[in-house]
Amino acid sequence: MSVPSETTAQQADRYLMQTGRRLPVTFVRGSGCMVYDEVGREYLDLVAGIAVNLLGHAHPEVAAAVARQAATLIHTSNLYFTEPQVELARRLVDLSFPSRAFFCNSGAEANEAAIKIARKWGRMHRDGAWEIISAEGSFHGRTLATVTAGGQPRYSEPFGPLPDGFVHVRFNDLDALKAATSERTVAVMLEPVMGEIGIIPASPGYLEGVRKWCDDQNLLLILDEVQTGLARTGRWFGFQHHGILPDVMTLAKGLGGGVPIGACLANPRADVFEPGDHGSTFGGNPLACAAALAVLRVVERDGLIGHAAEMGDLLHGSLAALGAKEVRGLGLMQAFEFEAPKAKAFQQSCLESGLIVNAVDEHSVRLVPPLIITAKEIERALNIMGKVAQ
């Protein structure tokens, strides 16, 4: 039972592990690109649950699909077949590249699956090679393997000893990747746009070069599309900007429109899992898959891929006026960087003015709004940011 004299924030201090700092607001409902706190104050949401709520909040078709599925069959385990899971796999394969899917519940789990695939593939096809090369500054999740794969030691160092077999190189530096490759290397794992560190897109030609290097050296290319996937960048998947295909691709975040679901897709070359190799109790249950199918249906039907590209250009083109040192991004995955260390204060002032933005550090602000955002809402956000930035 709650203690009436305590606020939600005070109770959170008492009952929740303090794994991260929260902003001083308690949200109780949302609609479209707006969310509302417990006193009814409205906020325009340019963060969308960190690139999750592709269709905004409380989208009627996602809500209806979830309600319908909840009243039909929520969960069975993967001991049996369920239609929504097979249908979702078919849709994702059709949209991306010839492959098969494994479903889980988060981005970290999707990347764990990719790492296990790479290690097994290395045993089968590369003399037991197991090392994965990833990028400095990358983010792949918080499990022990994925936090080690990620290139931000501040997240992994406190938890040593860390799993062996991860090597980090500078992003967008093909020569560094080539130099780090050895007979131990089994795969390269990259985000097409590095998200968590503040939106750093792959330079033109980089991923094409990496793909070719992987082909020449007989390595797997794993693309972590947890943040870039599902139309966020103005294409269904980030790799589609680069004219290449990955061997393995991971998804999560936007896939369920807010309902937890992750996926790992592997092409026939990399599809090495056999019965007993991997699993997840909840992964791809009918409820999550019904939500994801509704999200994909609406994104396609409502032309949200082109819309994300268009709104992304609009946002990108207007952000320079905020006095930012640099504006970076692709589609509705944008960031800007202040010269002075004021991003956190900017985030707080925006919140007080009814706008949600995400300061990834003291200098950079990330904007990953719902794909349904309108030009009018972008104008409203820019007005608020313009006033706050003065």
Contact of 257 with 221, CB cutoff 8 Å: no
Segment interacting with ligand PLP (CB under 6 A) among 25-33, 107-115, 154-162, 166-174? 107-115
Closest CA to 117 of 252, 247, 251, 239: 247
Residue type, 339: E
The residue count for binding ligand PLP (CB under 6 A) is 15
Segment interacting with ligand PLP (CB under 6 A) among 1-9, 82-90, 91-99, 103-111? 103-111
Q: What does the alpha-carbon distance between residue 360 and residue 227 come to, in Å, rounded to a whole number?
A: 15
Q: What does the alpha-carbon distance between residue 292 and residue 258 come to, in Å, rounded to a whole number?
A: 9
Least Cβ distance, residue 310 to ligand PLP (angstroms): 24
Member of 134, 227, 347, 358 binding ligand PLP (CB under 6 A): 227
Member of 45, 112, 131, 224 binding ligand PLP (CB under 6 A): 224
Closest CA to 368 of 311, 291, 324: 311
What does the block give as tokens for 319?
A: 């952000």
Q: Catalytic residue, from 102, 103, 139, 166: name it.
A: 139
**Residues 30-89 close enough to bind ligand PLP by CB under 6 A:** 50
Least Cβ distance, residue 192 to ligand PLP (angstroms): 9
Give yes or no: 277 in active site: no
106 touching ligand PLP, by CB under 6 A: yes
What does the block give as tokens for 73?
A: 């069959």
Q: Catalytic residue, from 253, 273, 338, 346: name it.
A: 253
Member of 141, 234, 312, 370 binding ligand PLP (CB under 6 A): 141
Between 84 and 151, name the residue whose CB sits nearer to ligand PLP. 151
Least Cβ distance, residue 195 to ligand PLP (angstroms): 4
Q: What does the alpha-carbon distance between residue 56 and residue 216 come to, in Å, rounded to a whole number?
A: 43
Q: What does the alpha-carbon distance between residue 108 and residue 49 come to, in Å, rounded to a whole number?
A: 16
Member of 30, 195, 229, 246 binding ligand PLP (CB under 6 A): 195
Q: What does the alpha-carbon distance between residue 201 and residue 198 come to, in Å, rounded to a whole number?
A: 10
Member of 140, 307, 316, 366 binding ligand PLP (CB under 6 A): 140
112 touching ligand PLP, by CB under 6 A: no
Member of 191, 247, 271, 377 binding ligand PLP (CB under 6 A): 191
What does the block give as tokens for 271?
A: 């599809």
DSSP E strand stretches across 79-232: 100-104, 131-135, 166-169, 185-190, 193-194, 200-201, 220-224
134 touching ligand PLP, by CB under 6 A: no
What is the strand order of the sheet 364-367 is part of? 326-330, 333-337, 364-367, 358-359
What does the block give as tokens for 354?
A: 């009814």
Tell me the CA distances in angstroms from 158 to 115, 148, 152, 165, 167, one per residue in order: 21, 11, 12, 18, 18
108 touching ligand PLP, by CB under 6 A: yes
Binding mask 338-367 for ligand PLP (x = CB under 6 A): ------------------------------
In the block, residue with structure tokens 């980090």: 168
Give yes or no: 338 in active site: no
Give yes or no: 302 in active site: no
Between 36 and 155, name the residue whose CB sits nearer to ligand PLP. 155
> Which residues in this chain contact ligand PLP in the complex, by CB under 6 A?
50, 106-108, 111, 139-141, 191, 195-196, 224, 226-227, 252
Q: Which residues are catalytic?
A: 139, 224, 253
